[in-house]
Amino acid sequence: MTAFFNEMMRPGGTVRPAYARIADWLERTPPEVLASRRAQAELMFRRIGITFAVYGDKEASERLIPFDIAPRVLTRSEWTRLEAGLIQRVKALNLFLNDVYGAGAIMRAGIVPSDIIYRNPAYRPEMAGWSVPHDVYAHIAGIDVVRIDENDFYVLEDNARTPSGVSYMLENREVMMRLLPDLFSAHSVAPIETYPNELLASLRSVAPRSASRDPTIALLTPGQYNSAYYEHSFLADKLGIELVEGRDLLVRDDIVYMRTTQGPRRVDVIYRRLDDDFLDPLVFRPDSALGVPGLMSAYRAGNVTLANAVGAGVADDKAVYTYMPEIIKFYLGEAPLLKNVPTWRCREPDALKYVMEHLAELVVKEVNGSGGYGMLVGPHSTRDQIEAFSKKLAHDPANYIAQPTLALSVCPASFSGGVSPRHVDLRPFVLSGADGARVVPGGLTRVALNEGSLVVNSSQGGGTKDTWVIDDPATA
């Protein structure tokens, strides 16, 4: 049986110092009290109305994300290492995206094959040859990381298009502070409540140079039927900006205006939670009723900033992910501080041969897939599922990458009444502005509901828990 790194317990059965108080609390708290706290948390989330779409579930497509009240803990020294790696990675991603739509130096150097870029569905030729405001493409990046041992975090994937989940990070913290104030106060937990202010500062910093000293910012949502609408309205409220739909905006003379009761008001920055395809029916999908006609014209004229930039989804591609160590070295002249998961590019004949021979052992993903869809988890698949997937892989190998089944770390969870280990990952949110990058200490920890399961994605039915960054315990 594979050994997993237990973030709370050492192999000999002793508790790691960072978890000392939490382990004691879990041991002293009866299962029925833990269950009661979980029920209270669920009631709070239900009153708030925070839900997420679980696709493919015919009985209930909208549901609460299960919340576990046992916090996940990182020490300040662990977080400092992780934060440095996250900032390095997102800095390189922004340089890469500027290059991809600009000079293309990394492709001319033969480091990243050009067809991976130009055949990518997220590549937007409309963006080629011009610079986005302040050269920032990925203003908000969600970098999914997993821990496999005492010292190593691996990046699982990069999310630079419209990363979601920050509302759950903030609401989880609020619920924990209300339900377990004594446990919370017993630790020096780094605050994450500053995230809305940090995000607002980043968005202000990338306003067009033609904007006023007090730029107007709006959050563009597809509307109330979108699975992440709660997060859109939550963030607009926290940032103190207007939540708008496409019909609330208009473009005149390459300037974007918002309809208000006092007449049109210029908008300088749009934090858009709308996919590229639907942004402007004059440029992308002509049948889009969600976008703003003329928005791309205003964007190209430099009169509005879109966050994240159009075309940033190229960086989400899992084939591009495999080149991230080379990308970081090319643009920054540095070795990566965070490791990539070892990956086979199925577009390469030798890699494809190996993957086809070891499908039962590997995780195979679509290069443009997300949310845990379109993938094969070999060790948890039937022979028929593996055989069916092998045909898809043989038909279009360039559409897939493969990775070993990672030994994701485990944390204590209380879903089953008692306390038992569950696999987790972490999505920290990296903000990039004209004034640099910033990361609030923590992120969204996603947790598997069932013991032994590696399914942590919320869209696949996983849960979440609060992430605490605390001071390093005093050494004896």
**Any idea of the CA torsion for 130, 133, 136, 137, to the nearest 10 degrees?**
-60
Secondary structure letter of residue 189 according to DSSP: B
List all residues 6 or more positions away from 463 whose beta carbon is below 8 Å from its beta carbon. 65, 66, 67, 68, 413, 415, 446, 447, 448, 449
Give the pLDDT score at 459.
63
Q: Is the pLDDT of residue 61 over 70?
A: no
125-161 pLDDT tens trace? 999 999 999 999 999 999 999 999 988 999 999 999 9
Whether 171 and 45 have beta carbons less than 8 Å apart is answered as yes
Q: What topology does CATH give the domain 209-303?
A: Rossmann fold (3.40.50)
Give the pLDDT score at 5.
94
Give the pLDDT score at 475.
52
Give the pLDDT score at 73.
97
State the DSSP H helix or E strand holding residue 440, giving kind and residue range, or none if neither. none
Closest CA to 97 of 302, 308, 374, 379: 308
Look at the pTM and tell me if it is higher than 0.85: yes
Whether 253 and 294 have beta carbons less than 8 Å apart is answered as no
Sign of the torsion formed by the C-alpha atoms of 162, 109, 334 and 115: positive
Q: What residues does each domain of the chain span?
A: 1-126+138-191+316-341+406-470, 209-303
